[in-house]
Each structure stands twice: as structure tokens, then as C-alpha cells.
Chains A and B, each alone.
Chain A
Amino acid sequence: MDGPDISVDLCGVLMENPVMLASGVLGETGPSLLEALEGGAGAVVTKSIGPSPREGNPNPTVVTLGDSLLNAMGLPNPGMEAYAEELEWLRQGSEAPVLASVFGTSPDEYAEVAARLAPLVDGIELNLSCPHAKGLGAEMGGDPAMLEQVVRAVVDVTDLPVLAKLTPNTGDIGALASAAERGGASGLVAVNTLRGMAVDVEMAAPALANTYGGLSGDALRPVGVRCVHEIAGMTSLPVVGVGGISNHIHALEYIMAGATAVQVGTAIRTDGPRILGRIATDLRDWLADHDHSSLADVRGILVRGGHR
């Protein structure tokens, strides 16, 4: 393609552009993954998949808060066997890169799901950080020792790159990043949603049936950028930035702070997944306007520059 080079090698996953579909937003079916790829995503991440079907939390599961969102989906997914069929369908229509997001209640379960889906994808993302499914995610990913065990268990069963997705609900994200690196992760993804609560005062009730949910969208971006900056400076692993990106300027914030690629979730809501392609195009145009020949010119400049 013409213009600056925005292709990315994300720990072996080759992408035409750095804009990925974030896990859990669409991605429960093959057709929605395909729609995101056709919409211009450099890669897509599946909904987080567990060993067996899970209905998730009762409604209401989302509350919109301006350009931000609180959700408590509760990890709904059809289970790895049914999901494998979705991926098989997708593979007949596209060769573009796909990461499977997996979760479980133990390191063994993570490994079981990763092993089942690995033949159908290009990489594994570990959802270690889902803050709103009781007994899942947060407990695993908030504890560096447990996180390390999960990563190691998955790395042991697959040759694919394994990326650990970190929770921002911690006082020390650096400790989580180091634990993932020790466990053998090939890359890091930061961040998942930030735990929150909204109240409907007229109803005098929590706005979500689950009471607590995860904050995403605009309000999350400064938290995400800070987390990426913090961990990019202390590890040599590539970092994927996610949280509150809805345009190329937001994406550049993450990239300058050290991100190799970015993911977009909540912003899909307005226009559908074609926003992914638009962010990539605008990113290339921005680089051209600023006389850069490649994304590498700006990647991590705030990390290398010693601004940490």
C-alpha cells in the first residue's frame, strides 16, 4: 500500500496495520470476526472462550456513560467446541490474523482451551483480568504468582505466541508484567476494563444487574496509556495498548507511550467495525503529514526519550 509503512510484526503475528478488534466486543461468532477484518482490522481477537458454554450475567449488562461504558457481560461464550466451529467457518473466508482469547478457572483449564483453539488461530491472548465474573479473571490475573502459572501452563501446550492481557485493577501493573514475562509470555496487552459501579438514582438501584462492571471507552484511556508506558519501559516484550481508542490520535498516544499495536472495543458501537479501518487509514495519513516513513519513527518515543 502507498504511504508510510504501518505493518506490524506482533511477536510473530504479521498484521497489515496495528489496529485490532479488542476481545469481547463482537467476536462471539465467525461472521462478526469476518466483518471486523473486512472493516479493516489488522487482526481480530475473539470473545474470551472457556471450556464450556456460559450464558453470562443477567441484563442489564451495559450502561452507557457518555463516550464511556460500564459492562458486566460476565464472559458469555458458547464454549470451546462450539466456538471451534465458528473459527473453522472464518478460516474458510479469511487468512487474516486471529488471536483466540481464552479464560478458565485454573491454569489447566486455560491450557485446555488454548490447546483446543490453537490449530485454528495465529496467537493466544489470555484474559487474566476480567473484573466482573465472580471467581474468574480478576482473582487469577491480579495475583502475580497465579498469573505466572497460567502463562506457563499455556506456553507449555502451544508454540503460538501467547499474550497476557493485564488488569488495571492493581496497584502495581509492573509486577504483573514481570510475572507474565517470567511465565514465558511473548507479549502483553494492557488494559482490560477498570472496575466500577453506576447507580440509577431514580430507581434507587445499581444500573447493572451485577452491581459492579468494567469501565471502558473514553474515560479509560489515560489509565491505559499510563499502564502501557509503565510496562513498556520495564520489559522487552511488545505491548498492545487498549482502552478508550476511537481515533488515530488516541492510537498514537498509546504508540508513542510504547505500544506496538492497539485494540479498539467500545468505539465500535457508533459505526460498527469499519472504524478499525478508518483509524488505520488516518494513522497512515497522519504519519505522511508529519513526514514519517514508518510507524517505527514514533513508536515508543516517550519511552526511549526517558520520560518515564
Chain B
Amino acid sequence: MRSRPVSVTGVRSETPTQCTIVLDWEPEAQPGQFVMVWIPGVDEVPMGFSSIGPSAAITVQRMGDATEALCALDPGDRVGVRGPLGKGFELLEGKRCLLVGGGNGVAPLVPLAEALVAKGCRVYTAVGARTREELLFIDRLAGIAGPAPEVATDDGSEGHHGFVSNLALRLMDEFRPDVVYTCGPELMMRKVADACWERSIPFQASLERYMKCGIGLCDACACGRYLVCRDGPVLTGEHLRGVPDFGSFKRGPSGVKVPFAAPDGGGSIGIGLGSED
């Protein structure tokens, strides 16, 4: 499908480093799918949906040129959208679900939580950020039926002091979820994944890789034998078992391997792809 122009109907600052852009667009999207967003003259970049429905929205973490340009948009401006693309989260019915989000990775978990509740699931959420100012969508999550979101901050300014992966491990043993859904920095997700594998809890993780074509042609988004744009971005624990890339390296725009940096021992609540190219 070709990129088509849609109007921006609202731009909201969420945290000092994150903004939400509301679009005059009603895509037929599943939670976890993504869209290639084109800002002419700047870039075309992959973004997940933070709202699905009559006015879809994306929530953007400021990282560089494209994300700064997105947060600088005004209502009435237009962007190109190509999507929805990829495979989203698989929605289960009537299950006990634990959702673990780090940094901007919380964004796609909000429409997921809504959809799971609609399917009769009991939804527990664990949300992490570097500091309390950067905690995303606590209010939206609190508004969804179920227990209040559990919070972790790296600096201890709110909730559990430390990584959300550690909080998630505790909640796994407390709530005994049937399934875990996670999105965030890959080292965080890897910790959650290891814990799920140990406990034989199925999980689904939303991955990020450098994307160019978005339609399974160019191989830029390779993660082991999977193409994240085609087979993901959501991959299951079964997919990810034995994939050497997962939690270890991504690929830069040239295809070279770029290890995930673990400056503070891993699991830090970075955003985006977890390390720079």
C-alpha cells in the first residue's frame, strides 16, 4: 500500500520527552501493529499505535530528527501513513494477563489492555521509566478495569526502586499470570522472557529493529530468522527461543550487528532501540 496523507488533529505533551499525535484516521489495526509515518523532507519512521479507534494516535519518544519533527507538528499539519503493518499481539480470552512496559514501550500496551479487558481478561500492568516524570499513561491504565498499575522507576522517585523487569518478576510469582505481554527496551524484555521461560509462562514481546521497506523485502529488520516488519513486531516466546539476536544485538541501517549496550548491568529503562547505532 502507498503512503497516504492524514491530518494531525491534536498534539499533546505526555512527559518532558514524549508527545502524543492524534490523527484524523481510523485504521483497522490490531494492538501491537505499526505504521510507517512520513514527514516529507525529514524521514519515514516506524511507530506503534497508542490509540486505536476513530482517531488513531501515536506516542513519540524524542530521539532525533524524525521524532523531534513529529513532536513539533501542529493540528492541521499532515503526515503520510503506510500501514497498519506487521503482526500485533494475539488476544487471548478470559486469561490472567501481565503487561510489562518500559519507557515508551508502555504506549502500545494501553490499547492492548483495553482489548484484553473487552475479551474478559484480568489485566495486571507493570510500568517502568527512568524517573517519575517519564512515567507514561499511568492514568489511562488506571482507568481500565482491573488492579491499579504497578510502577517502577530507575531512580526510585516513584514506586518500586529499580528496573521494571525486577518488579515484573515479583508480580509473576504473586499474580501467576497465564500469559505475559511486554514492550520496551530489549534488555528489559529479555529479562522478562528468561523469567517466563523458566516458569513456563507463554509470552509475547514487541520488538524494534531498524525499518526501511516495512513490507518484508529489504531484510533491514532481521532478527534471527524473523523479519520484524513481517513476522512481528510482536513475536512469541516460541518464536524467540534460540534466536541469538534477542537481547544481544540488533542491526544498524547497513546490516552490521550492533550489540545492545548494558552500561548499568542490563535492563535499564532506555527507550527506542535501547542503544545508539
Residues in chain A within 8 A of chain B (CB atoms): 24-29, 31-32, 34-35, 47, 53-56, 58-65, 69, 71, 73, 76-79, 82-83, 200, 202-203, 205, 207, 209, 265-266, 268-269, 272
Interface of B is mostly: loop
Question: What 4 additional pairs, Cβ within 8 angstroms, besides A29-B222, A64-B1, A65-B2?
Answer: A28-B255, A47-B255, A62-B215, A73-B213
B251 within 8 A of A: yes
CB <8 Å contact, B43 and A55: no
Closest-CB distance, A298 to chain B (whole angstroms): 30
Q: Which residue of B lies closest to A62 (CB)?
A: B213
Q: Which residue of B lies closest to A54 (CB)?
A: B254
Interface size, chain B (Cβ < 8 Å): 35
A58–B42 CA distance with the chains assembled, in angstroms: 9
CB <8 Å contact, B80 and A200: yes
**What 7 A-B pairs are tightest by C-beta distance, nearest first?**
A28-B219, A59-B44, A78-B255, A55-B253, A53-B254, A60-B44, A205-B40
Question: How would residues 74 to 100 of chain B score, 1 for a CB under 8 Å from any chain A CB and 0 otherwise?
Answer: 000010100000000000000000000
CB <8 Å contact, B40 and A203: yes
Question: How would residues 240 to 263 of chain B score, 1 for a CB under 8 Å from any chain A CB and 0 otherwise?
Answer: 000000000001111111000000
Question: How would residues 210 to 243 of chain B score, 1 for a CB under 8 Å from any chain A CB and 0 otherwise?
Answer: 0011111111101011010010000000000000
B16 within 8 A of A: no
CB <8 Å contact, A64 and B215: yes
B265 within 8 A of A: no
Closest-CB distance, A36 to chain B (whole angstroms): 10
Question: How would residues 4 to 26 of chain B score, 1 for a CB under 8 Å from any chain A CB and 0 otherwise?
Answer: 11000000000000000000000
A58–B64 CA distance with the chains assembled, in angstroms: 14
Task: Select which of B45, B78, B222, B252 is within 8 A of A59 by beta carbon.
Answer: B45
CB <8 Å contact, A82 and B218: no
A-B contact pairs, 24 of them (CB 8 A): A25-B218, A26-B218, A27-B219, A28-B251, A31-B222, A32-B219, A32-B225, A34-B225, A47-B255, A53-B254, A53-B256, A55-B254, A56-B212, A56-B254, A59-B38, A71-B217, A73-B212, A73-B213, A76-B212, A76-B254, A78-B254, A78-B255, A83-B255, A205-B41
Chain A residues with CB under 8 Å of B219's CB are: 25-29, 32, 47
Interchain Cβ contacts within 8 Å, total number: 120
CB <8 Å contact, A61 and B78: no
Chain A residues with CB under 8 Å of B225's CB are: 31-32, 34-35
Chain B residues with CB under 8 Å of A58's CB are: 43
Q: Which residue of A lies closest to B4 (CB)?
A: A202
A168–B4 CA distance with the chains assembled, in angstroms: 30
Residues in chain B within 8 A of chain A (CB atoms): 1-5, 36, 38, 40-41, 43-45, 78, 80, 212-220, 222, 224-225, 227, 230, 251-257
Chain B residues with CB under 8 Å of A76's CB are: 212, 218, 220, 253-255
CB <8 Å contact, B5 and A73: no
CB <8 Å contact, A64 and B2: yes
Closest-CB distance, B7 to chain A (whole angstroms): 11
Q: Which residue of B lies closest to A271 (CB)?
A: B216
The answer to whether residues A200 and B40 also contact, given A29-B251, A35-B225, A64-B2 and a CB cut-off of 8 A, is: yes
The answer to whether residues A60 and B38 also contact, given A31-B225, A203-B5 and a CB cut-off of 8 A, is: yes
A265–B43 CA distance with the chains assembled, in angstroms: 25
CB <8 Å contact, A28 and B44: no
A268–B2 CA distance with the chains assembled, in angstroms: 17
CB <8 Å contact, A203 and B254: no
Task: Select which of A55, A202, A203, A207 is within 8 A of B252 by beta carbon.
Answer: A55
Chain B residues with CB under 8 Å of A32's CB are: 219, 222, 225, 227
Q: Which residue of A lies closest to B255 (CB)?
A: A78
CB <8 Å contact, B220 and A202: no
Chain A residues with CB under 8 Å of B212's CB are: 56, 59, 61-62, 73, 76
